[in-house]
Structure 1
Amino acid sequence: MRRTRFYKHMPTSQSFHDNRYLRPLARYLHHHYLWQFNRRTVAGGLAVGLFAGILSPIAQILFASILAMIARVNLPVAAFATLVTNPFTVPPIYYAAYRVGKSLIGSDPGAAEDLDPETMEKIVGAGSLEGGIGNWFANMIDWLQAAGPQLMLGLAIFSVVSAVLGYVLVHVIWQLNSRLRWKRRVRRIQQQMDDCSIKGD
């Protein structure tokens, strides 16, 4: 994928300044390291975005932006990566996180699994938005309150693991891409030398 296509889908400096939740941070958004696209900043931005997107149930972009400023990583990538959680992915991610947390610390009376089965189906099932976003949100809040520490532990594990994997993945892809470009350059130079050699003969 060409970089221009990648950049086209990234949030811009203006979009951050226009975001009402980020306006208090506007004076910090001009720092050049927040907008650099290199291996370290992109990998760090992805890690920060995945961490904030999974761990924080609300204000993920604000949380990711603050972490990006502290870590001095790419802000657009961090904001874009928070989209890993959305109304379609939150139910399975949160339910899986709850199951992981429950397997580690057990469950309490009145835990999420004791909720009405129909409510659980609406939350976790593929049709989780059926009945309107308001009903889905109310059901999710009820489930989150019942899930308690099991869910938070699972989300903490998921956020850390996903951040580490995202960071490593960017470095691996970046390295492979660099090697590929280097090989292409070597082949191009070799071809030019062969062409010159043929012309010289």
Structure 2
Amino acid sequence: MPKKTIKKLMPDHQKIKSNKHLQIFGDLLHNGNLWHLNRRSVAKAFAVGLFFAFIPVPFQMVLAAGVAIIVHSNLPLSIALVWITNPLTMPAIFYFCYIVGTWILGVQEKKFAFEASWEWVVNSLSTIGPAFLVGCGVLAVTFSIIGYFGIHWLWRYSVGKEWKKRSNR
């Protein structure tokens, strides 16, 4: 059942509550619904986490936490899913976003070499930036929707399977 699997993988809620970056939310973190695992809260968490995983901004976790609090999704799961784009996966995922953006905008791919400098970022915004940002937006929305409905389906499927197993006994 997804609930058992997710519960094993989730970080401790006390650790998250004590995170210095999340202190801006204050008493909102004490809402019990943010820590509860059910089909709706987990599906919303997947939507929030996957959305912000594809948005190339600093402090993705704080943004995901803020939206998770607003929509009452599972907070630890929303924050954890943002880490799909981590320093190891980010180059491949964001390059794919760029490719999708070029396809959607109908522009030709431009050759570029990444440099870890502010000057490179500013110069790239005018050349590869539009395609990259469009690709990020489209993939963020797409994977968010797939995650939301996929979790709903998986949860219902596994509960139905458990009920069937129980009725066979």
Displacement, 1:162?
A: 0.3
Q: Which residue of 1 aligns with 2:159?
A: 178
Tell me the distance in 2 between the aligned counterparts of 1:77 and 1:177: 19
In structure 2, the residue corresponding to 1:84 is in which secondary structure? coil
Q: Highest Rg: 1 or 2?
A: 1
Quickly say closer, same or farther: Cα 1:13–1:96, change in 2 above 3 A: same
Work out the percentage of aligned pairs sharing the same amino acid: 31
The answer to whether the 8 Å contact 1:64/1:82 transfers is yes
Displacement, 1:30?
A: 0.6
Quickly say closer, same or farther: Cα 1:162–1:104, change in 2 above 3 A: same
The answer to whether the 8 Å contact 2:2/2:155 transfers is no
Q: Which residue of 2 aligns with 1:68?
A: 68
Tell me the distance in 1 between the aligned counterparts of 2:159 and 2:73: 20
Q: Which letter maps to 2:137?
A: A
Counterparts of 1:1-201 in structure 2, within 5 Å, are 3=3, 6-107=6-107, 113-115=110-112, 119=113, 137-138=116-117, 142=121, 145=125, 146-188=127-169
Displacement, 1:153?
A: 0.7
In structure 2, the residue corresponding to 1:22 is in which secondary structure? helix
Deviations 1:87-126 (A, max 9, x none): 1211111111112212232559xxx8243xxx35xxxxxx
Deviations 1:119-142 (A, max 9, x none): 35xxxxxxxxxxxxxx7x449x63
In structure 1, the residue corresponding to 2:30 is in which secondary structure? coil
Tell me the distance in 2 between the aligned counterparts of 1:182 and 1:89: 38
Q: Highest relative contact order (Cα 8 Å, sep 6+), 1 or 2? A: 2
Quickly say closer, same or farther: Cα 1:100–1:4, change in 2 above 3 A: closer
Tell me the distance in 2 between the aligned counterparts of 1:61 and 1:6: 19
- TM-score normalised according to structure 1 size: 0.73
Cα RMSD for the two superposed structures: 2.4
